[in-house]
Amino acid sequence: MTDQIETPQIYLVTPPEFELSSFPNTLKRVLDGVETACLRLSLATHDEDRLMRATDVIREVANSVDVAMVIDTHVLLAERLGLDGVHLPDGARTVRFARKTLGPDAIVGTGNGTSRHDGMNAGEAGADYVSFGPIGGALGDGELAELDLFRWWSEVIEVPVVAEGGLTEDNVRSLSPFTDFFAIGEEIWREEDPLAALKRLTAAMS
């Protein structure tokens, strides 16, 4: 992850379920078509064998286009499989453990819902980025990460910030001046042409 630039970068998130026989080709097409800063493997399963097989396949795709790859939640798997880092959905609680386990050069990021306090704690604990969301839609407990949170963060905090969850062209356009990354996943994978859907969202950033 890098410092904030004028145009936000793409942080791609895999679907929670996908077919190993077909999804890698779809992913490769998307990564070839739009410049991407980082890829997060975010499977719903906790089955270690499934996770490891998916990691092997997806990492090969990420490596082919020189995109950093992190895994959701599983710090020890990230270490064992030599991934670039981990995304921790529980805010600051396991940042220090992840940093100690993975080392100073690993990407350690956190999901913080809509809590400014949790985001600040994660940054102070050593997170490389903090993510807030959802931005739109009827996700989670119904509470949304508002534009004012991102505006305040961009003015006050140096830790890079990620917007994710329920992204649309309209809210991407509004948030672009105040976020470093957009984490984009289901917004494109549910579409018939994920690459075209991603290009529509990236077009709204400029």
- Please report, for the domain that includes residue 51, its CATH number: 3.20.20.70
Position 3 scores a pLDDT of 47
DSSP structure class, residue 188: H
Position 142 scores a pLDDT of 77
Per-10-residue mean pLDDT, the chain, length 206 = 70 97 98 98 95 96 98 96 96 93 97 95 96 82 90 97 97 98 98 98 95
Position 140 scores a pLDDT of 54
Separation between Cα atoms, residue 10 and residue 63, nearest integer Å: 16
Query: Does 73 map to a domain?
Result: yes
Query: Does 106 map to a domain?
Result: yes
Position 194 scores a pLDDT of 98
Separation between Cα atoms, residue 85 and residue 173, nearest integer Å: 29
Position 137 scores a pLDDT of 83
Query: Does 133 map to a domain?
Result: yes
Query: Does 179 map to a domain?
Result: yes
SS3 (DSSP) at 107: strand
Query: Does 201 map to a domain?
Result: no
Query: Does 200 map to a domain?
Result: no
Domain extent, residue 62, equals 9-184
Position 17 scores a pLDDT of 96
Position 4 scores a pLDDT of 44
Position 188 scores a pLDDT of 98
Separation between Cα atoms, residue 162 and residue 112, nearest integer Å: 10
Can you read off the two tokens belonging to residue 122? 């994660």
